[in-house]
A and B are shown apart, each in its own frame.
Chain A
Amino acid sequence: MRKTIEVSHLNVSYFGNKALKDVSFSFQTGNLIGIIGPNGAGKSTLIKAMLHLIPTDSGNVSINDQPIKNIRRNIAYVPQRSDIDWDFPIVVKDTVLLGTFPNIKLFRRPSKADKEWAAHCLEKVGMQDYATRQIGELSGGQQQRVFLARALAQKADFFFLDEPFVGIDVASEEMIIDILRDLRDEGKTVMVVHHDLSKVEAYFDELILLNKEVIESGPVQEVVRPDIMSKAYSMDFNMLQQMGAHNV
């Protein structure tokens, strides 16, 4: 059995407009994979389409030769912060506990062991002191760490994170990338939609450069080259990196 994550000829359209054109790539599992590209390139659409969260026109996605629907419980998804209702009546520890739900049988409730495991995951992201806070009372970085803890609680092998570093503090960003690296070192596969070009080389092993179609994919040093990057971004790449390119 090949240990790969494979996407072939994925097409997605919204009301007749092509959002993704014939997207194909494959990576070894056990890597930290970044998805980058300009605004509107379809980065979030790509991971949503891969997980069949939105309808696709055509294409095939498999992980270790299994279709996605066979391994769903083994996939942890961290949504964009803007997708969450932060006024929902739920506190931090209960939010993390939700991560155990995929592995709890129908009609069953979380056990004591599940609760302890969730508390442990909360400690891993350094948020144990906030366990009884409502999630809307946290800062952006804290919220992101809580949602990462929820993903950890799922004990998954595949992690998909949609823009986890947008609008968060430096300390939280460092903590999150450290945890993602640890996951990778444990043999897990982590896919991250990412914005900030200045840190791409430091963060990822593999990269997909996307602008509705795959411009380039492969090891990070082979993708982050001025001639390739400028195919996706209209501006000069060196200038982009100097600017930090937070809002490209």
Chain B
Amino acid sequence: MMSFIADLQQYQFLQNALITSIMVGIICGVIGSFIIMRGMALMGDAISHAVLPGVAISYMLGINYFYGAVFFGIVTAVGIGVVSQNSRIKSDSAIGIVFSAFFALGVILISKAQTATDLTQILFGSVLSVRPSDMIMTLIISVIVLLVVFLFYKELLISTFDATMAAAYGLPTKWIHYGIMVLLTLTTVASLQTVGVILVVAMLITPASTAYLLTNKFSMMITLAAFFGALSSVIGLYISSEYNLESGAVIVLVATILFLLAFIFSPKHGVLWRSLRTKKSKASI
């Protein structure tokens, strides 16, 4: 532990990694809370995979991978909407079709565009190679995501809980949906370096699900999800640097352990108390 803190003070790259992964943990928790309550967990997985061709094309064009990734993320969100609304294809199938196609395209393009980054780095992340420019990018994305959620919290809450009422009183629920897709894409792009394409979905879903088991208030769920996301990042980064393990994978496993603790011990929704309550009520009968 002490050596980790000493390393932190000594090495700039470790500081960058820590700050970046904390920010990513926070925004993944926040956006993840909306994603899981809207039943769009699969959508998070889809967008994270589908940004791959965008990353490849950005390398080819010599521009920041952010632009290409955001472009493909939004194309995917719209594409999924078009396929599921204009045919009898159900939305989970539409998601599967669209994202695997983009992911396949991305795999080919990345191998052609091999320059600074290789495929493994994008798939699994490499938080220790975060450059200051990436950190700034993550910071900007985090500020945007948190600001939008703060400003439009009322509208986001009601359209997530009861989209019909939201539409009935005149909220543009379709645009809110695409707005969330844009935030999701931004969050995904920010997470590429920390946990990589494949494991982004875990950072979106797992801390938010942990929080979901612990509270009956949505704003509290968002706060807790952000906290668990950040906590997973810090602990995960510490373990991975101490034992020289893949950082993204360790962060995800830490998030999973936190989830398991909540799953078992949550006072309201954990399996332990639930089974004790059932036993009690059986005994009283």
Contact = CB atoms under 8 A, between A and B. Distances in A.
Contacts of A101: 154-155, 158, 169
Given A72-B170, A101-B154, A107-B151, A90 B216 contact: yes
A88 B165 CA distance: 15
Given A89-B218, A134-B216, A109 B154 contact: yes
Interface of B is mostly: helix
Interface string B156-178: 01100110110111100000000
Contacts of B167: 51, 53
B38 to A, nearest CB: 9
A98 B88 contact: no
Given A15-B88, A85-B161, A98-B161, A75 B169 contact: yes
Contact of A154 (B161, B162, B169): B169
Interface string A68-79: 010011011101
B110 to A, nearest CB: 39
Nearest to A94: B217
Contact of A88 (B151, B152, B169, B218): B218
A91 B155 CA distance: 18
A102 B164 contact: no
Contacts of A15: 88
Nearest to A91: B216
A161 to B, nearest CB: 12
Contacts of B164: 48, 53, 77, 79, 83
Nearest to A51: B168
Given A98-B161, A104-B154, A73 B216 contact: no
Contact of B217 (A75, A79, A90, A107): A90
Which residue, B153, B165, B218, has most C-beta atoms of chain A within 10 A? B165
A134 B161 CA distance: 13
Contacts of A239: none
A64 B117 CA distance: 64
A84 interface: yes
A88 B217 contact: no
Interface string A44-75: 00001001010000000000000001001101
B221 interface: yes
B271 to A, nearest CB: 16
Nearest to B169: A102
B37 A85 contact: yes
A107 B149 CA distance: 10
A159 to B, nearest CB: 11
B57 to A, nearest CB: 36
A33 to B, nearest CB: 17
Interface in A15-62: 15, 48, 51, 53
Which of B88, B152, B170, B217 has the most A CB atoms < 10 Å from its CB? B170
B212 interface: yes
| Residue from B151, B164, B168, B221 whose CB has the most chain A CB atoms within 10 Å | B168
Interface string A2-20: 0000000000000100000
A51 to B, nearest CB: 5
B215 interface: yes
Given A15-B88, A101-B154, A134-B216, A90 B168 contact: no
A89 B217 contact: yes
Nearest to A52: B167
Nearest to B39: A85
22 contacts: A53-B167, A53-B168, A73-B169, A77-B165, A79-B162, A79-B165, A83-B162, A84-B162, A85-B161, A88-B161, A89-B216, A90-B217, A90-B218, A91-B217, A94-B217, A98-B158, A98-B161, A98-B162, A106-B152, A107-B151, A134-B216, A150-B165
Given A83-B162, A101-B158, 19 more contacts: A53-B168, A69-B170, A72-B168, A72-B169, A72-B170, A73-B170, A76-B168, A79-B162, A79-B164, A83-B164, A88-B161, A89-B212, A89-B220, A89-B221, A90-B216, A98-B165, A101-B154, A101-B169, A160-B168
Interface of A: 15, 48, 51, 53, 69, 72-73, 75-77, 79, 83-85, 88-91, 94, 98, 101-102, 104, 106-109, 134, 150, 154, 160
Interface of B: 37, 88, 151-155, 157-158, 161-162, 164-165, 167-170, 212, 215-218, 220-221
Q: Across the A-B interface, give the 10 residue pairs with the lowest CB-CB distance, nearest first.
A: A72-B170, A77-B168, A102-B169, A134-B216, A79-B164, A89-B218, A89-B221, A89-B216, A51-B168, A88-B161
